[in-house]
Structure 1
């Protein structure tokens, strides 16, 4: 009773609900859709656990976006039809939708649900809601570039495949900035190929160098020879006469 009095004056455009499968009517989606109000529900949360590790009752999270303010009493009539717990004012529509999948930082330890299982009705655009801000976009682009280099990603499709499976935030950014990111992947691949070519050239030059005695080796060799004519040879003439006949002494 105290909570009802406390919430009696609440008015808001956006509200959240929880629908439990063991109590909601079978047509609960139709009831919400028939209001004509944009709304969406989460994937079925059937793997949530409490502090003791016990599985919670399967449930859906719901957000409703009204065009006008709705009172707490008006929302109670709706939750009554749905046989749902009391409604809550939605402080952040984006935050509530992100919580649908536990993809926000504070929920990383919780089970991660599939964003593709979010369902929206009456024109609520989930993709637009989850569109990152300019600052978030820049941070995600930095993460993607670092991932490309650290994991030696040489094909754009491999990056897309990873993003689709592992992180929906990356997928949204890749879909928006696909040309820019593809150019980065291509540039990285070409740069990698050039570095590989340089290394191959260096290896060839090193092998050739190993066929020639060093100055130290020449001097030591000349000192050990009794042949006066050989002693008189300069370094250049010696290399031309005896190229690749003696290996480098290490």
Structure 2
């Protein structure tokens, strides 16, 4: 006799294939009234031998109470045969839907992740402290590379090009440091100087006023003593 799977958890994930899904499958999921995420169509995933996997969606269900394997099997049966597995990390799975933490895999757009029944995708995709600092560094580098002089410029750029990464940070908790960097750059420009790479340039003459290469040196760890 096959041992019955009695494991219970709140969060379950499964894969569905477009050609097997019934018409109105999204309406079926909506009808469960359970917070859910549906991944973008994964049509560029590859097998170990390099062949392309069959196009599919990942679906994550987030219940308020514990559910058994059999309960989930019975629930999702109308979607034609997907096998559910227990989800160990809702945040990790949400990020996997776009392969955010898997740069070796094809990168899918976060904007194509579908959230329903009250699922808060923005909250689930919030970066860790390490990720946040890295993105702040990216924004500062962008400011220097593109001579951004107004906070509005980077906000508009982030809104149009980095809507799932930079833009939430600028809206929530990184506006002060980024606006301070821009104000410093603008004030220096008003004094007649511009930081261009490693050099502080006199705007009027184009001459190098100071070598700032020390800014870009990274020969020691923060923890090392002088």
Select between 155-164 and 109-118 the one with higher mean Cα deviation: 155-164
Aligned to 1:228: none
Instruction: State the distance in 1 between where 2:25 and 2:139 align.
Output: 40
Aligned to 1:179: 175
Runs of 5+ unmatched residues, structure 1? 205-250
Cα RMSD for the two superposed structures: 2.8
Q: Which has the higher helix share?
A: 1
Aligned to 1:102: 99
Structure 1 position 14, deviation (Å)? 0.6
> Taking structure 2 as the reference length, what is the TM-score of the superposition?
0.75
Q: Please say if 1:44 is aligned against 2:51.
A: no
Runs of 5+ unmatched residues, structure 2? 195-200, 208-226
Q: Would you identify which runs of 4 or more consecutive aligned residues in structure 1 move more than 4 Å? A: 200-204
Instruction: State the distance in 1 between where 2:203 and 2:114 align.
Output: 54
Of structures 1 and 2, the larger Rg is shown by: 1
Aligned residue among 118, 121, 128 for 2:116: 121
Select between 107-116 and 188-197 the one with higher mean Cα deviation: 188-197
Q: Please say if 1:83 is aligned against 2:80.
A: yes
Question: 1:207-247 CA deviation, whole Å, 9 max, x = no partner?
Answer: xxxxxxxxxxxxxxxxxxxxxxxxxxxxxxxxxxxxxxxxx
Aligned residue among 11, 17, 22 for 1:20: 17
Q: 1:39-78 maps to which residues of 2 (within 5 A)?
A: 39-78=36-75
Q: CA 1:11–1:199 in structure 2 vs 1: closer, same or farther (change >3 Å)?
A: same
Aligned to 1:199: 202
Question: 1:182-205 CA deviation, whole Å, 9 max, x = no partner?
Answer: 34223223224435288368889x
For the 8 Å contact 1:76–1:86, the answer to whether it is kept is: yes
Q: CA 1:200–1:128 in structure 2 vs 1: closer, same or farther (change >3 Å)?
A: closer
Select between 117-126 and 169-178 the one with higher mean Cα deviation: 169-178
Instruction: State the distance in 1 between where 2:134 and 2:203 align.
Output: 36
Structure 1 position 44, deviation (Å)? 1.4
Q: Please say if 1:165 is aligned against 2:161.
A: yes
For the 8 Å contact 1:24–1:84, the answer to whether it is kept is: no
Aligned to 1:92: 89
Structure 1 position 150, deviation (Å)? 4.2
Question: 1:129-182 CA deviation, whole Å, 9 max, x = no partner?
Answer: 112344543343233223322443334454345544357322221222363223
> Taking structure 1 as the reference length, what is the TM-score of the superposition?
0.69
Q: Secondary structure at the match of 1:26?
A: coil
